[in-house]
Chain A
Amino acid sequence: MINIKLNVNGKDYDLEIEEDLRLIDLLRDRLGFTGTKEGCGEGECGACTVILEGKTVNSCLLLAIQAHGKEITTIEGIGKEDDLHPIQESFLENGAVQCGYCIPGMVLSAKALLDKNKNPTRKDIREAISGNLCRCTGYEKIVDSIEKASKILQQRGSESHEQL
């Protein structure tokens, strides 16, 4: 057993864990962040995507100990059921969700993109979600949703700027 400290969705945790525990298992089984899904377990599908220190990673390919001292954002840290993030709202409004299994990873990849590129092209969006497989939607509506979310975020950004 080994001790690690990490911050998930803004909250600090100090935990004793098995040494070879994967990050995905820590998030799901120990901390209850079950929005993080396991698909392939080999880094191909992206269902387990989380944001680690501002960058997307496959949480099935990290040992939990690698997250020691770091900040992680899971889908639970993006929005709440009654207070959705614009990306989530846009996914719902534009019919981008079917079975939903890939969506947490998809939203996190979109969030990481929009955090550094406020006005992405459709090509940028496709590139950003290229590590997230979706077997239902055919991706078009997902790309539409992220594009629309970027517009909403830009608009809100400029509105809040005006208020200042």
Chain B
Amino acid sequence: MGVTRVLKAYSIEEILDFMEKYGEKVELLAGGTDLLVDIRAGKNKGSVIIDISDVKEMKKIEIGEDDIVLGALTTFTDIAENDYLKENVTGLWKAAKSVGSPQIRNMGTVGGNICNGSPAADIVPPLLVLDAKLNIKSRSKQRKIKLKEFYMENGSRNLRSDELLYSISFTKSRDKNIRIGFEKLGLRNALAISRISCSVYAIIGENNRIENIRIASGALGKYPLREYALEKFLKDKNLNDGLIEEAAEIFSHEVKQRLSGRSSCPYKKEAVKGIFKKAISFEGE
């Protein structure tokens, strides 16, 4: 589809006005790293492009008392350069650092990564394990949904054409026993679109007991997924090498069933074991 208009918004209010006015014709331009390629190929879904890249109120990292809020236009570089996130939310930081190249990290945004809905979106698995919430606004109402409810089974997203994802929030945790890991497998370091990614959030108590665990994967389904079966298996068990081996086999079996019939299945069902083992060993923390 060609481009009929390009409009520039400087505030959330202006974006919502444009969205209300142009409805389904609107396509939002945040980082542009995917959209510009689509426009060149004539594959943009909306003919009215709203450039939101200068909406300052959506570019922020707020480390609050109880919550951490990422503006939807926070870039991967913003996250990668944030010392608090590096120290305390390591899996999220590692995922941001693993995205593309310096240029792509300077441009690409968290909101864009979520909304584009690519199965390989790097920042989504760590946000899934953090049980992040999406703050969404339209002219008529405001709502908050969990990220895990955003991707629908039919491939669409839980976001109407007049709605804007303006920020992402998750609970700030003070528990010293929390570990957040991330690991990805790409073709080369820079610019690699994830072949497989995995993020693990765990609270490890006395005797290495897994008091709570959330696991998410990227590029192993239509969209990034929570791995509930694996979580259930691991919860309340004592984390050790034997258990990790067992869990890796379960994950592999799960992937084999999910990707059955796809050419990538034989590779991914094996490779996922190594990625999972690295993610749950919290390397680089």
Q: Which residues of chain A come closer than 8 Å to B107, judged between CB atoms?
A: 43, 57-58, 61-62
Using known A-B contacts A43-B33, A63-B51, determine if residue A58 contacts B102 with beta carbons closer than 8 Å.
no
Contact between B103 and A131 (Cβ–Cβ < 8 Å)?
A: yes
Partner of A131, one of B6, B32, B37, B104: B104
Contact between B51 and A43 (Cβ–Cβ < 8 Å)?
A: no
Q: Judge if A128 is at the interface, Cβ distance under 8 Å.
A: yes
Q: Mark B8-32, 1 if CB is under 8 A from A, else 0.
A: 1000000000000000000001001
Contact between A65 and B6 (Cβ–Cβ < 8 Å)?
A: yes
Interface extent on A, as a size class?
A: 20 to 34
Majority SS at the chain B contact face: mixed
Q: Which residues of chain B come closer than 8 Å to A20, judged between CB atoms?
A: 3, 6, 39, 49
Q: Which residues of chain B come closer than 8 Å to A19, judged between CB atoms?
A: 3, 5-6, 49
Across chains A and B, the number of contacting residue pairs, with CB separation under 8 Å, is 81
| Distance between Cα atoms of A112 and B49 in the complex (Å) | 30
Q: Judge if B100 is at the interface, Cβ distance under 8 Å.
A: yes
B30 CB, nearest partner CB in chain A, Å: 10
| Distance between Cα atoms of A68 and B51 in the complex (Å) | 11
| Distance between Cα atoms of A98 and B32 in the complex (Å) | 32
Q: Judge if A56 is at the interface, Cβ distance under 8 Å.
A: yes
B172 CB, nearest partner CB in chain A, Å: 28
Q: Mark B77-108, 1 if CB is under 8 A from A, else 0.
A: 10000000000000000000000111110110
Q: Which residues of chain A come closer than 8 Å to B3, judged between CB atoms?
A: 19-20
Contact between A66 and B29 (Cβ–Cβ < 8 Å)?
A: yes
Of all chain A residues, which has the CB nearest B81?
A116
| Distance between Cα atoms of A63 and B44 in the complex (Å) | 14
Q: Which residues of chain B come closer than 8 Å to A127, judged between CB atoms?
A: 102
Q: Which residues of chain B come closer than 8 Å to A44, judged between CB atoms?
A: 191
Contact between A61 and B8 (Cβ–Cβ < 8 Å)?
A: no
Contact between A62 and B102 (Cβ–Cβ < 8 Å)?
A: no
Q: Which residues of chain A come closer than 8 Å to B77, judged between CB atoms?
A: 55
Contact between A56 and B49 (Cβ–Cβ < 8 Å)?
A: no
Q: Judge if A102 is at the interface, Cβ distance under 8 Å.
A: no
Q: Judge if B53 is at the interface, Cβ distance under 8 Å.
A: yes
Contact between A66 and B102 (Cβ–Cβ < 8 Å)?
A: no
Partner of B103, one of A2, A57, A66, A69: A57
Q: Judge if A86 is at the interface, Cβ distance under 8 Å.
A: no
| Distance between Cα atoms of A20 and B191 in the complex (Å) | 25
| Distance between Cα atoms of A3 and B39 in the complex (Å) | 21
Could you list 29 A-B pairs, sorted by A, with CB under 8 Å? Answer: A2-B6, A19-B3, A19-B49, A20-B39, A41-B40, A42-B37, A43-B37, A43-B107, A44-B191, A46-B103, A56-B106, A57-B103, A57-B106, A57-B107, A58-B33, A60-B36, A61-B37, A61-B107, A63-B36, A63-B49, A65-B51, A66-B51, A68-B54, A130-B101, A130-B189, A130-B191, A131-B104, A131-B190, A131-B191
